[in-house]
Amino acid sequence: IRPKEGWQVYSSAQDADGRCICTVVAPEQNLCSRDAKGRQLRQLLEKKVQNMSQSIEVLNLRTQRDFQYIMRMESQIKGLRSKFRQIESDRKTLINKNFQELKGKMESLQPLIPVLEQYKTDSKLISQFKEEIRNLSGVLIAIQEEMGAYDYEELQQRILNLENRLHSCMNKLTCGKLMKITGPLTVKTSGTRFGAWMTDPQASPKNNRVWYMDSYTNNKIVKEYKSVADFVAGVESRTYNLPFKWAGTNHVVYNGSLYYNKMQSNIIVRYSFESGRVVTQRALESAGFHNVYPYTWGGFSDIDLMADELGLWAVYATNQNAGNIVISQINPDTLQILKTWNTEYSKRNAGESFMICGTLYITNSHLTGAKVYYAYSTKTSTYEYTDIPFHNQYFHMSMLDYNARDRALYGWNNGHQVLFNVTLFHIIKTEDDS
Q: Which whole-number Å values give the CA distances from 316 to 254, 325, 336, 350, in the listed order?
A: 19, 6, 15, 11
The pLDDT-based confidence of 75 (bands split at 50, 70, 90) is confident
The pLDDT-based confidence of 131 (bands split at 50, 70, 90) is confident
pLDDT above 70 for 155: no
Residue range 185-226, pLDDT digits in tens: 999 999 999 999 999 999 998 899 999 999 999 999 999 999
Q: How far is 21 from 14, CA to CA, in rounded Å? A: 5
What pLDDT, on the 0 to 100 scale, is given for residue 171? 53
Q: How far is 353 from 337, CA to CA, in rounded Å? A: 19
Length of the chain (residues): 434
Q: Of 282, 331, 334, whose CA–CA distance to 303 is shortest?
A: 282
The pLDDT-based confidence of 1 (bands split at 50, 70, 90) is very low
pLDDT above 60 for 324: yes
Q: Are 409 and 198 in contact (CB under 8 A)?
A: no
Mean pLDDT, range 146-155, rounded to an integer: 61
What pLDDT, on the 0 to 100 scale, is given for residue 257? 98
How much is the pTM?
Answer: 0.62
pLDDT above 60 for 32: no
The pLDDT-based confidence of 425 (bands split at 50, 70, 90) is confident
pLDDT above 50 for 42: yes
